[in-house]
Amino acid sequence: MTTLSILFLLASTPPLIPLPQELAWNAGSFELNRNTGLINKGATNNTLSRLREATDLILRNQAGTSSIVLEQVPGMPDEAYTLEVTPLQLRLTSSSDAGFFYGIQTLKQLNQNGRIRAVKIKDAPRFGWRGLMLDESRHFFGPKFVRKYLDGMAAHKFNNFHWHLTDDGGWRMESKRFPELTRVGAFRKEQGVEWDYGNLWFPGPSSSEKLYGGFYNQDELRSMVDYARVRHINIVPEIEMPGHSLAATASKPELQCEPPPGVMAEYLKGTNSQAPTMMCPGKDSTIEFCKNILDETMALFPSKFIHIGADEVDKTLWRQCKHCQARMKANNLKDEHELQSWFVRQMDAYLASKGRRLIGWDEILEGGLAPGAAVMSWRGISGGIAAAQANHDVVMSPTSHCYFDYSYDTIPTSLVYSYEVIPAALTGEQRNRVLGGQANIWTEWLSTPAEVESMTYPRALALAETLWTQPERKSWSDFEARLNAYYPRLEQMKIAFRLGAPKLDPDVLNLAANKEWKFTRPDIAGAQLVLEDGTVVTGATVPATNKEVKVYFQLPGGRRGDPAVGRVVNLTHTTALNQPGLLSMTIPWTKNTAPPLSEFENAKQAEEASISLVARPTKPYALRFKGGLVVDKPGRYTIGIGSDDGSVLYLDGQKVIDNDGAHPYIERTVTIDLQPGVYPMDLVYFEAGGSSRLEFFWTPPGGTRQAIQSFRHQRSGSSDSDSLAGSGGSI
Ligand code: ACM
Ligand code: ZN
């Protein structure tokens, strides 16, 4: 018996995710073994197959000393089930195959080595749309991974797999009618690991370039639909139009606007890597193409909803194209937004004529929403609100909570869990327009299955519960405890979930104040705390050393989570500022890491004895604030820096916060014990391009977060402005 299964046997209350609506644990347990009987009162063969998978037993269809009873009960809501377990009987009821399926998923989570704890469960989902979206255009992962992804979804009661099959990065659905879509559009020139939007090129199969990509043939697509169907997952295919269509326009240049300003021709020759990515809605042939490709899509995918994308359409070329302008004139369309809306209406009517429904990203609201269209709200929730108020169905997937390609720093699991899917602005009947929600996994920066999985899990579990469980049943602390106990099951499923870092207390050990590290030790089932060299940490503390410490959670199989990095400093302080105010210095700087302090010392001429940066430095540049941090009471401080791009905080010449690297705005905080006094301080920041921002803040003992310094450089039109504000803390 493995360590894992011993743990399972000992755990008396198995963690259930998502939490059922009604749940009462009882004493005793039901044992699954070869003598277990089966009494089937109306369940289908599909349900019996799923039960066989869940129990690992071929059950005889006759009563045993203890029996599983499957009973179809007409009138229960679709997807609902009850599960009643006593030592003698395990009774699962539902009116539908879907309800039996969800009952069996719960049964799998209850199963602890053949022992099912006695329980009474009554369950049904809160929302009918519980989705995950996977982008396979930017990176192609292939059927084996997608089946595994569907398995993970099914186990947590997701029921819509939104499959992003076409975009600028590649076309992944075989078309019999337009084979060039995959012959050319499924294989881009190998770019290396880094995604480079400006360097997408589809040189075609006869090119000598190294190609990268892949696609699903129609048999594979049909078989994926079947695989999902028996797991009660509907596949919503997304065929992007009229934007995000580079793979299509590269394969079929006639889909482009005319007269092309030479760009497409140059692109095809390889002399210009910046090809336009939108189709021409002015040409009748484009409309025909879109309808034809939707015909093939509908033939492959039985989904009621067909997703046509329609987000982020660059309309520049439409303004210059004679076909687009003629279309606008003929249809009285006042601008290009109305042209986009006209295009979406064509597709909406076409899908409706075939008994299907159109769904698109919230840009389909611009220029007027097509009559039957459903809206997927991604740029916040306002699109969802507007559509629901206009009596359209909506699926919520705002960037704030549902973009799982964003880092865990930006969207932590707890934030996903806190998401309330129905916007507060909706009332009465409008609330029923919210079909549910989904998370989106865009893959520009995720090129391997393991990366996709670690961005998906555990956040998908938080979303699963948010979409399934009624809000009054939800509690983050209860969920977190179940999640910590649930990781071994993800391990069993071989899902490369993200395992976070332990929490060090404090993060920065000031030898002038502390002698040991403390750990907050969440009870992750089976995991040990280890140091970098593998030493297992058994107690709650580790004595201070004079160097940095890294601590990890390590799972029984040896996999480690993210490190908690504890810094060690020994801070001396003075009682008075040893220099007037705060000095700022800027130097030109072109690397993607912050310069060491010595770089500034070597560039004294750049020094300004002022905290206001009047003239914006020539970019790219680095900036140093030098002064003293004034601490007036002893205790534990949380200090933070947020920056775009990187920043580093030094106290008394020792690195305290490392927020280095070229990156979007990211905040990092540390806790540190400080005595009253003035601490020599250096804050180094660099800006490598794009927008720039630096925030320096702290939370004093017993206080609330206060800004110490705030620096922003904003670009508005052609005039640039800098602002530097100091408040709250003192320096
Ligand atoms: C999207 O993220 N462009 C829908
Ligand atoms: Zn055009």
> What is the distance between the alpha carbons of residues 312 and 363, in angstroms, rounded to a whole number?
7
Angle between helices 45-55 and 97-110 (to 10 degrees): 10
Give the model's pLDDT for residue 3: 44
Give the model's pLDDT for residue 587: 80
- 361 close to ligand 1 (CB < 6 Angstrom): yes
> What is the distance between the alpha carbons of residues 699 and 671, in angstroms, rounded to a whole number?
9
Measured by CA distance, the residue closest to atom 3 of ligand 1 is 311
Q: How far is CA 85 from CA 71, 104, 119, 162, 578, in A?
A: 14, 13, 5, 35, 73
Segments of 578-674 assigned E as strands: 583-588, 607-608, 621-631, 635-644, 647-651, 654-659, 666-674
Ligand 1 atom with minimal separation from the 244 CA: 3
Q: Please, are residues 63 and 39 in contact by the beta-carbon 8 Å criterion?
A: yes
Q: How far is CA 221 from CA 301, 330, 355, 586, in A?
A: 8, 39, 21, 56
pTM: 0.87
Q: How far is CA 84 from CA 29, 46, 73, 109, in A?
A: 11, 21, 14, 14
> What is the distance between the alpha carbons of residues 214 and 216, in angstroms, rounded to a whole number?
7
Give the model's pLDDT for residue 548: 85
Half-sphere exposure of 634 (CA within 13 A, CB side): 5
Record the tokens describing residue 655, joined without a space: 């690195």
Catalytic residues: 167, 244, 312
Ligand 2 centroid to residue 353 C-alpha, Å: 26
The pLDDT mean for the chain works out to: 89
For residue range 453-476, list pLDDT tens digits in order. Answer: 999 999 999 999 999 999 999 999
- 22 close to ligand 1 (CB < 6 Angstrom): no
Give the model's pLDDT for residue 60: 79
Using DSSP's 3-state secondary structure scheme, residue 480 falls into helix
**Pairing mode, if any, of strands 115-123 and 111-112?**
antiparallel
Ligand 1 centroid to residue 51 C-alpha, Å: 38
Ligand 1 centroid to residue 230 C-alpha, Å: 29
Smallest-distance ligand from the CA of 238:
1
* Residues paired with 709 in a beta bridge: 696, 726
Ligand 1 centroid to residue 361 C-alpha, Å: 7
Smallest-distance ligand from the CA of 406:
1
Ligand 2 centroid to residue 378 C-alpha, Å: 27
Ligand 1 atom with minimal separation from the 440 CA: 2
- 444 close to ligand 1 (CB < 6 Angstrom): no
Return the best residue to mutate from 361, 401, 403, 404 for the ligand 1 pocket (most ligand atoms within 8 A of CB): 361
Using DSSP's 3-state secondary structure scheme, residue 326 falls into helix
For residues 681, 687, 690 and 695, what is the CA-based torsion angle, rounded to 10 degrees? Answer: 0
Q: Please, are residues 527 and 487 in contact by the beta-carbon 8 Å criterion?
A: yes
Backbone CA torsion sign across 523, 525, 531, 535: positive
- 404 close to ligand 1 (CB < 6 Angstrom): no
10-residue stretch averages of pLDDT, the chain, 731 residues long: 42 88 96 92 94 86 89 97 97 98 97 95 98 98 98 98 97 98 96 78 92 97 98 98 95 85 69 79 98 98 98 91 97 96 97 98 93 96 97 97 94 97 97 98 96 98 98 97 94 94 89 83 82 87 80 90 91 71 76 90 55 52 85 93 94 94 90 91 87 89 85 42 44 51
Question: What DSSP designation does 593 have?
Answer: S
Half-sphere exposure of 669 (CA within 13 A, CB side): 17
Give the model's pLDDT for residue 542: 76
Any residues with CB less than 8 A from the CB of 333 and at least 6 apart, and which? 327, 339, 341, 342, 367
For residue range 606-646, list pLDDT tens digits in order. Answer: 454 333 344 455 568 888 888 888 888 999 999 999 998 99
Angle at 341 between CA 340 and CA 346, to 5 degrees: 100
Give the model's pLDDT for residue 577: 57
Record the tokens describing residue 137, joined without a space: 């255009």
